[in-house]
Amino acid sequence: MTGADSRIPEALPDTLAQPVDAFIEYLAAERRQSPHTCAAYRRDLTRLAQWLASQAPALTVWGQVTESDVRRYAATLNREGLTGRSIARALSAIRRFYEYLIREHRLRHNPALAVKAPRSGRRLPVAADADQLAHLLDTPSEEPLEVRDLAMFELFYSSGLRLSELTGLDLGNLDLTSGEVRVLGKGSRERLLPIGRKARQALEQWLKLRPAFAADSEPAVFVSQRGSRLSSRSVQLRLARWGQKCGADQHLHPHLLRHSFASHLLESSGDLRAVQELLGHADIATTQVYTHLNFQHLAQVYDRAHPRARRRSAVRQAPGDTIDDG
């Protein structure tokens, strides 16, 4: 069978196994899905078929599956610890399988159509320590390309740019006299951002060296050793390399600098709307994730500094002590 792995276990009736085999064959031969994708669909559907067989031994055909069955299956996956994203992927596989059966005139109803996966907790972005970032950015550059790299990293942290915004930056977008940079963000939305003093100094140093690499006709601010616009992948690799060289205790990447910009600015100002504008978020709900980071920072300060918090901590650290209630 083209692009398909081992068949559904023999313990399942052919009336459940055969339609899945036909669906995987369809994905591989007609839809040109990769073997990896076909294997993922097979795993999801095999898992469902085995669960159905264990729950209702009399269930022998896919047409007997109800929306209630699919909901109970999703709840089972949730209890087993699968994330909302994994459950959503499983439900997507089930919906697509039933779409195939309906297209083949085997069934008329898709029982997974209205079933939604539980929402996963949103992963908080990681922010670097401000003192560590200062150390990394203050490390002297030893060669022209490192001068370029430092200018990029300073601009990331100074203005909160996205990676695509930095690599797409042209000379005409920079105004170092007024300390401003104009970037084109998501949805082709332009925004004007301030450039901090350190970033302006780093950019001035790079622009003095840039003519040795780029032709007069090249508009990109950041160019490679061959003079062409620097790629996103190159920026990622150079930043990771800089972190290793400077002894950073975490992996450095462009989003880390953008997240750090937002988190540190919010800690200092408390102005969520301003951070939203600077980041270029269309919806403030996207920016609100940084309030959680800010609260975590405040909670850590509280635990270290508040007398009652310290006392509770001390009691926990000395479980053998007794407390005189008198």
Question: pLDDT-based confidence at 291, cuts 50/70/90?
Answer: low
Phi/psi for 127 (5° steps) reads -115, 145
Give the whole-angstrom CA distance, residue 89 versus residue 105. Answer: 25
Phi/psi for 100 (5° steps) reads -65, -45
Is there a domain that residue 283 lies in?
Answer: yes
**Non-local CB neighbours of 144 within 8 Å, separated by 6+ positions:** 209, 212, 213
Is there a domain that residue 311 lies in?
Answer: no
CATH at residue 267: 1.10.443.10
Is there a domain that residue 114 lies in?
Answer: no
Give the whole-angstrom CA distance, residue 151 versus residue 137. Answer: 9
pLDDT at 316 (0 to 100): 38
pLDDT at 269 (0 to 100): 79
Give yes or no for a contact between 168 and 222, defined as CB atoms under 8 angstroms apart: no
pLDDT in tens, 154-163: 999 999 899 9
Same domain membership, residue 262 and residue 181:
yes
**Non-local CB neighbours of 66 within 8 Å, separated by 6+ positions:** 111
DSSP string, 87-154: HHHHHHHHHHHHHHHHHTTS-S--TTTT--PPPPPPPPPP---HHHHHHHHHSPP-SHHHHHHHHHHH
Same domain membership, residue 22 and residue 157:
no
Number of domains in the chain: 2
Enter the tokens of residue 71. Answer: 């909901």
98-112, 156-170, 268-282: range with lowest mean pLDDT: 268-282
Q: Whose structure tokens read 């190159």?
A: 234
Tell me the pTM: 0.53
Is there a domain that residue 83 lies in?
Answer: yes
Q: Is the pLDDT of residue 242 over 80?
A: yes
Helices (H) and strands (E) in the chain, counts: 14, 3
Q: Assign 192 to helix, strand or coil.
A: strand
In angstroms, what CA-CA distances link 260 with 2, 91, 104, 137, 195? 48, 36, 52, 13, 16
Give the residue-averaged pLDDT of 243-258: 84
Is there a domain that residue 2 lies in?
Answer: no
Which residues are identified as catalytic? Answer: 162, 186, 255, 258, 281, 290
**Non-local CB neighbours of 245 within 8 Å, separated by 6+ positions:** 139
* Burial label, 86 (beta-carbon count in 10 A; 0-12, 13-18, 19+): middle
Is there a domain that residue 162 lies in?
Answer: yes
The range of the structural domain enclosing residue 20 comes to 14-103
Give me the sheet containing 174-175, strands edge to edge. Answer: 174-175, 180-184, 190-194
Q: Is the pLDDT of residue 300 over 60?
A: no
On average, the pLDDT of the chain sits at: 82
pLDDT in tens, 174-199: 999 999 999 988 878 889 999 999 99
